[in-house]
Each structure stands twice: as structure tokens, then as C-alpha cells.
Amino acid sequence: MEQKIYLDGKFVTRNEAKVSVFDHGLLYGDGVFEGIRAYGGKVFKLREHVERLYKSAKAIMLEIPMDGAKMEEIVLNTLIENGIEDGYVRVVVTRGEGDLGLDPRKCPRASVIVIADKIALYGDELTRNGIEVITVASQRSLPIVLDPRIKSLNYLNNIMAKIEAANAGVTEALMVTREGFVAECSGENIFIVTKGVFVTPPAFLGILEGITRNVVMELARAGGSEAREEIFTRYDVYNADECFVTGTAAEIVPVLKVDGRTIGSGKPGSATLSLVKKFRKLTAGEGTPIILRVSKSASRR
């Protein structure tokens, strides 16, 4: 089946999916996006992802040319068009075509792109064996400059961190704030577990408030554990019993070594592995069914 991409009201082939060189998303990273997962014919946390997309857009005064319900329809229809029941959906909203200047008023209409595809996960091997992480020099952007809760198309801060991790031969990069507090990884939130308590950095510190992050906290609490948002440093990470990262694509991945320090026993911890099982059970049973919905905003060619 040839891949179909939703582009501004139409489903087109991959080769036909093109944007203007004057699109402000391309020229300036001016736009927002979401990554969404589908499991077994259901879209996990679709409403939450769409709501976060619209919050990001509102923060940068970007008007999405449809309401949230219509966007949900388009996500589901894009999966249908591509025959995907287990996969990943990338929703991108750019400021649209303008000119070479910065002025967003020169962009009369936002552009909406939705891509559905299979996804290469970290996989069961890394869930079993865990990953190694290093702290990188690239610090997390200050919220006063560009709030990391805005899932914008400007991901250069994260990419610079990922480059440092790749150059060091490890899987992920740990980013800290200017004050030295742990923030998040290049593409995932981070948790530590100490004496049975799950701790993750608070949103106000300057992190993306992850959908999977919030689900993990709910699962931990439902299982009788304490889960809280709290500021901590690398010292706390080094001395934690367990550490793991979370994200839509990554799901839940154990971290076994940080900056050369072995975390806990050096193997995926029981609390982490228990959460992985609970999360997989949840994603297998919960979600919005992928059922074709008729939408006047989308046509086929």
C-alpha cells in the first residue's frame, strides 16, 4: 500500500506531499507538533495529545484551521488510509506560507500535516537490557526564553543534546537546567525510584509535560506507590535504586548507567519492569477505536 499523507485537506502520496520553501515552519521552526501512538486498532490518549497540540498552538498564537474534534477525525482517517493499526502518527501544524521576514501576519493560514507510519521502537531488547545516559553540555532552554511545554518545531536544543550523546556512544542525553537541576532527556522524561518512591522533575522546571509521564505517575499511584514531582540533581540520580525514561515513542525504558555510575543493581529494577507490564496492559485495552469517520475537511485523490 502506498503511503498517504494528510496535507491541508487532502490525502496525497508521499511524493506529492510538499510544502512551500516560504513556509515559516521550514524557515523558522514556527509551528507545533504531536507524536501519537496506535496499539491494536486503538489510538492511545488521542484526546490528551490533541489538547496538548492546541495548548502549544495557543501559546505561540497559532490558529489551527479546525477544531479539536476535526483533528481527531483526521488522525483516525490517516491511520485508516494507510491500513495501520499499530504505529505512530505525527501531527504537524506550521504557521504556513509567508515571506522571508519574521512577521507571522504575512502567513494567512496555518498548514496541517498528518503522517501515519510504522515505528521502530527501542524494543524489548533495551527494555530487558536498559540504556546508558550521559549528562551533556547542552542545557535545557529557559522557560522564560521558550517554554519547553510548547512542543514546537524548533527542536534544535534537543538535537544538540542528542548529538552529544551519539558522539559519546550512548543512547540518550540527560539535560539539566542552568542551576544544575535534572530536567529531562533529549526526547523523554526521566524518573528515579528511591525506597519505592517515584520522582520526576516538575513541569515548571522547564520540561515537556509528557503524556506517558503522566500515565506512569497514575499507574504508580494506582499500584499503591508514591509518585511525585520534585526537583533533584544528578547526585540523586546516581544514588537512586532505579531510573527510567518515558515517552510516546520510547514508552518506558530502564536506565542502568548515568555518567559512568551504575544505577542500583545495574539491571532493570522490579518497580520499572512492573510499570512496563502495567503500561502495556493499559495500551492494549484503552484508546480511541480506529474507525473511519466522514470529514468534509478531507478528500482523496
| CATH number for the domain that contains residue 91 | 3.30.470.10
Q: Is 45 in the active site?
A: no
> Would the pTM of this model clear 0.85, i.e. be above it?
yes
Domain final position from 119, 146, 174? 119
3-state secondary structure of 224: coil
User: Which of the two residues, 240 and 300, has the higher pLDDT score?
Assistant: 240
- CA atoms of 198 and 126, how far apart (whole Å): 21
What pLDDT score does 164 carry?
98
Q: Are residues 160 and 194 in the same domain?
A: yes
pLDDT tens-digit readout, 167-194:
999 999 999 999 999 999 999 999 999 9
What pLDDT score does 123 carry?
63
Torsion over CA: 107, 210, 186, 42 (sign): negative
Q: Are residues 214 and 145 in the same domain?
A: yes
Q: Are residues 144 and 105 in the same domain?
A: no
Report in angstroms the alpha-carbon separations of 144 from 92, 180, 200, 239, 286. 24, 17, 21, 31, 36
**Residue 293, in any domain of the structure:** no
Position 144 pLDDT exceeds 60 = yes
Q: Are residues 138 and 273 in the same domain?
A: yes
**Residue 290, in any domain of the structure:** no
Q: Are residues 72 and 144 in the same domain?
A: no
Q: Are residues 111 and 226 in the same domain?
A: no
Q: Are residues 139 and 203 in the same domain?
A: yes
**Residue 298, in any domain of the structure:** no
CA angle 156, 160, 75 (to 5 degrees): 45
Q: Are residues 207 and 237 in the same domain?
A: yes
Which residues of the chain form beta strands (DSSP E)? 4-7, 10-13, 31-39, 42-43, 87-94, 111-117, 131-135, 172-176, 182-185, 189-194, 197-200, 226-229, 242-247, 251-258, 261-262, 288-289, 299-300
User: Which of the two residues, 1 and 89, has the higher pLDDT score?
Assistant: 89
**Residue 200, in any domain of the structure:** yes
**Residue 199, in any domain of the structure:** yes
What pLDDT score does 293 carry?
59
**Residue 47, in any domain of the structure:** yes
What pLDDT score does 155 carry?
93
Position 298 pLDDT exceeds 50 = no
pLDDT tens-digit readout, 2-26:
999 999 999 999 999 999 999 999 9
Please identify which of the residues 151, 162, 278, 296 carries the catalytic annotation: 151
Q: Are residues 152 and 216 in the same domain?
A: yes
What pLDDT score does 291 carry?
84
Percentage of residues of the chain with pLDDT beyond 70: 95
Domain containing residue 231: 123-285
Q: How many domains does the chain have?
A: 2
Amino acid at residue number 156: L
Q: Are residues 135 and 271 in the same domain?
A: yes
**Residue 139, in any domain of the structure:** yes
What pLDDT score does 126 carry?
75
- CA atoms of 93 and 295, how far apart (whole Å): 18
Q: Are residues 67 and 142 in the same domain?
A: no
**Residue 218, in any domain of the structure:** yes
The pLDDT-based confidence of 121 (bands split at 50, 70, 90) is low
The CATH number linked to 263 is 3.20.10.10
Average of pLDDT values for 110-132? 85
